[in-house]
Structure 1
Amino acid sequence: LFNKFNVQVETAPIRIPYRETIRITASAQGKFKKQSGGRGQYGDVWIRIEPTDRDSGFQFASEVVGGVVPTRYLPAVEKGLRETIVDGILAGYPLVDLKAVVYDGSHHPVDSSEYAFKIAASMAFKAAFDKAKPLILEPIYTLTVQTPDQYTGEIVGDISSKRGRILGMDTESHFQIIKALIPQASLSDFHHALTRLTHSRARYSYTFSHYEETPSDVASKLIAEKNNAD
């Protein structure tokens, strides 16, 4: 672009939309208590988080009885939870496919506030999340490649080296149609690899398929990157 149009371009790696979620149900307490001269702050909740089906997003519910957490503070509890899931905990990616239930807690007739319950809810959620065997999900795409027969082996090898899984192959005239599942993170340089391997004689397309758990080495790298950035 610079040579042809004299346009300065800055490039950056594509940010893959990873997601975080949990494997098992876990509970924890969050208590925010602050006293500094005047009116204090007090909020106390117990939160249970449960894994739900893929693509179910985030759900909130209350099982509070007896007014231990007054109804007027429940919106603040939900707000604290929703704000927490946006930025993630493990590696900084949004949390999905889980349900958070507030089921117990306590309040102070003078010091309790919406702010205190929002902070307490966030504290409880983070503590429960650590116990719920968290994991990172990555987007998986369906990849279709049309290539002359003689390049099939090289392309299959390249897809496999990128953590792709071959679904099957069909023949169409002198071409092979290769179908595979591949992580979005592996698609960034696939075009260049395909061009190099086939001398620009192959075509490909891809569509989003689903999310699935990242391998442990990939997850560890993402977590380390987040910790280093902090």
Structure 2
Amino acid sequence: MTGGIMTTRKTVVDRSGKFDYTLKKQGGGPGQYARVIGQLEACDELFIFENRVVGGAIPSKFISACEQGFRDAANSGILAGYPVIGVKVILESGDYHPVDSNDYAFRFAANQAFYQALETSDPVIIEPVMLLTVEVPSKFIGVVQSDLLSLRAVLTGLEYVDNSVILVSQVPLAQMFGYATRLRSLCSGGGQFSMSFSHYQPVPKAVEQKLIAGASK
């Protein structure tokens, strides 16, 4: 099997989402206060943070804590724990308290604000899809093709070469673990394959629901 880009499932957003989150804790000891306002939207890079705060609504010394809070949330994800990629966070405004505001408060507020915005931005789990080439003796084409379809593969090419057949397909990486053993069993040891990374695509809704349900247990 040739090497490919070994990637994992991720989360992306379909549309922009707004956030306005306030952390306000007061008790017998020191309080915690921070407010962050802004939005997130899809972008072509893994993660972008843009600071648009003006007028000292959030003191500059707390901006880096806000960015870290957003990054923490993006790395943790919201759907089954898969990290969020391709997202731009725009911090537009906020509020602070001269005594109760600190780095921790703004980092926590930003973290929760990210999740708040994701609730309205239609997050979707995407998965890596591999370009798979399988070569088997022609007498095994039926059983191998049926097996590929059971793995959610999309067949894109078929070529006969002497007594062998080459099948080309796109198949989710999650379905490929243990495929070498599987193919040997199907072809009595007479098959071989190679694969490389092709692209990402949204997982089917039924699969997504199972992933979320499994992560919540």
Q: Give the aligned residue type for 1:46.
A: I
- Choose which of 192, 201, 207 in structure 2 pairs with 1:212: 201
1:172 is the counterpart of 2:161: yes
Partner residue, 2:88: 99
Partner residue, 1:163: 152
Give identity over the alignment, percent: 35
1:24 is the counterpart of 2:15: yes
Partner residue, 1:8: none
RMSD: 1.4
Is contact 2:129–2:170 with CA below 8 Å preserved after alignment?
yes
Whole-Å separation in 2 of the counterparts to 1:52 and 1:157: 38
Partner residue, 1:80: 69
Is contact 2:74–2:114 with CA below 8 Å preserved after alignment?
no
- Choose which of 20, 30, 36 in structure 1 pairs with 2:27: 36
Whole-Å separation in 2 of the counterparts to 1:63 and 1:75: 13
Is contact 2:52–2:90 with CA below 8 Å preserved after alignment?
yes
Is contact 1:47–1:125 with CA below 8 Å preserved after alignment?
no
Which is further off, 31-40 or 212-221? 31-40
Is contact 1:47–1:121 with CA below 8 Å preserved after alignment?
no
Unaligned runs of 5+ in 1: 1-15
Is contact 1:154–1:197 with CA below 8 Å preserved after alignment?
yes
Shift of 1:74: 0.6
**Matched positions, count:** 211
Instruction: State how 1:59-208 maps to structure 2 within 5 Å.
Output: 59-208=48-197
Q: Give the aligned residue type for 1:95.
A: V
Whole-Å separation in 2 of the counterparts to 1:111 and 1:169: 67
Shift of 1:35: 1.3
Determine helix, strand or coil for the equivalent of 1:110.
coil
Partner residue, 1:3: none
- Choose which of 34, 38, 55 in structure 2 pairs with 1:47: 38
Determine helix, strand or coil for the equivalent of 1:24.
coil
Is contact 1:31–1:123 with CA below 8 Å preserved after alignment?
no
Shift of 1:26: 0.6
Whole-Å separation in 2 of the counterparts to 1:104 and 1:85: 20
Instruction: State how 1:6-21 maps to structure 2 within 5 Å.
Output: 17-21=8-12
Is contact 1:32–1:120 with CA below 8 Å preserved after alignment?
yes
Q: Give the aligned residue type for 1:105.
A: G
Is contact 1:140–1:182 with CA below 8 Å preserved after alignment?
yes
Whole-Å separation in 2 of the counterparts to 1:186 and 1:37: 54
Q: Give the aligned residue type for 1:106.
A: D
Unaligned runs of 5+ in 2: 1-6
